[in-house]
Every structure is written in structure tokens, then in C-alpha cells.
Amino acid sequence: MLQIRNLCKNFGALAATNDVTLNVDEGTIHALIGPNGAGKTTLISQISGYLTPTSGSIKFDGQDLLAMPAHLRPHAGLVRSFQVTSVFPDLSVIENVCLVLQSMNHQVFSLFRPAVADKAERAEAMEILERVALENEAETTTRNLAHGQKRQVEIAMALAARPKLLLLDEPMAGMGAEESRQITTLLDGLRGSITMLLVEHDMDVVFGLADKVSVLVYGKVIASDTPRNIRLDPEVQRAYLGGHEFHDRSA
């Protein structure tokens, strides 16, 4: 689904992305981990088009991604979820989702046309909300939701863009244990239907969800393997995991 070859991004003398080669297989959850400042968000930003690489190549679903403008990448099936929750707080949950559906259907936004006016869009939005367990909050104003529920709305909005590949940049940021479990369950339920590249600091989440894990240190991939092998890799232990024991889905 995603093929990255020899990708570099330099900011002056700093190599934020240092000759990264990475494959994300279709239908898998692929986690990208590493210490703060390792270049994870910089890499995600290049994939999504917010940053232009210095050199290297990215292919997405067989297409040359670097030849595709950032605003067209969601329409091709490449959708990003950000570290900071990005929702429209004064709109209802279902209105947030319907706005994305309107955009994907190439409809012109109108100040005089409610986002939920199209019955087909509303029905599709409700189906999406059921997938993320928010159907009972459809008419709730989004600002009144808990943080974890706002993350669920953001994921619902991402699903409304009909992604082939979902880029998740720290979806558990700022969450308590119970909220993290809920989002983990949600993402696990999407396994196989949507390919995911997940950036996350919570190692229990990573090893509980990922089919494959890549470790980024100082902009360079030092290992890419199954969760079990990553957990036992001596170089990874020295560079990042620090000797801690973590659980993985295959254990």
C-alpha cells in the first residue's frame, strides 16, 4: 500500500528524515515508534504532503505520491489524523461527519444548506458513527464531548473520507487509561478493512495493535519487524525501549 524509498528531509544541517526505506502492507496496522525528536511527525508530514522531501520517493497504492498535491491525497485514499484533535466544536457530531462527506462528494459548501440536509449523506454518516460507537451522540454539540469521544469523532471524520490508508499521529495523546482502551478497541475493529500507519508513544497500545513495528531514531529506521522481535531486539532496547517489558498481540 505504501512504499517509501531512501527518503530524506533536511533542515539545514539537520537530517530530520535520514534515508528512510519503509513498506506498509495492505490491510495491516503498522506502528512507527521512537523517542521525542526522532522525526516521526516529520515523516508523516511528508507522506501527507505538508512537507516536501529533500530526496527519495513515496509510492501509495502504485501511484507516485510526490507528484500528487497535498489537497488531492485524501481523495486518493490517503487520510491523516493529527496529534491535536481537529473537529468543528460548535457543530453536532453528525454535522462534522457530513461536512467531510460533502467534501468527498465534491459538493460546494453553502451557508444556507445545513450539512445534514442530504438524506443519503446523513444515512452514511450514521453508519460511520455506528462503526465508532457514537450513534447515540449524533446530535450532541461536539464541544460538549469528552476528549476521547472527540477523538472518536475525528476518526469518524477520517472514515468519511473513505481512506485506503489512515495516518494516525498519536491518537492516544492526552487520554486516560479507559479512553485509550476504547480507541484501541475501535482501531482494532477496523483491522483488515483499512491500512493504518500509527505513530504512538504508548507502548502497550503499540504492541497490542501493531502487525509490524518500525523504530525511528534520529531520523533513521533502525529496525522494522514483528512486535515480538522488536521488543527483543538489543539495538531497539538500547536506543528506545530501555529494557522495559511490553505486551504484544502475538504473545
Q: What is the pTM of this model?
A: 0.86
Q: Which amino acid is at 116?
A: V
- Residue-range domains of the chain with CATH: 1-77+163-251 (3.40.50.300), 92-162 (no CATH)
Q: Is the sign of the CA dihedral 72, 199, 197, 104 positive or negative?
A: negative
Predicted pLDDT at 37:
86
Q: Nearest Cα to 190, choosing from 112, 101, 128, 245? A: 128
- Alpha carbons 226 and 25: distance in angstroms, whole number: 13
Predicted pLDDT at 6:
97
- Alpha carbons 244 and 167: distance in angstroms, whole number: 27
Predicted pLDDT at 58:
97
Residues of the chain falling short of pLDDT 70: 82-85, 106-117, 241-251
Predicted pLDDT at 247:
42
**Predicted confidence (pLDDT) per residue in 4-19, tens digit:** 999 999 999 999 999 9
Predicted pLDDT at 127:
95
Predicted pLDDT at 120:
84
Predicted pLDDT at 52:
95
Cβ–Cβ under 8 Å, residues 205 and 234: no
Q: Which amino acid is at 55?
A: S
Torsion angles phi and psi, residue 149, rounded to 5: -70, -35
Helices assigned H by DSSP within the chain: 40-48, 93-104, 119-131, 147-160, 177-189, 203-209, 227-232, 234-236
- Alpha carbons 164 and 81: distance in angstroms, whole number: 13
Predicted pLDDT at 8:
97
Predicted pLDDT at 243:
45
- Alpha carbons 128 and 139: distance in angstroms, whole number: 14
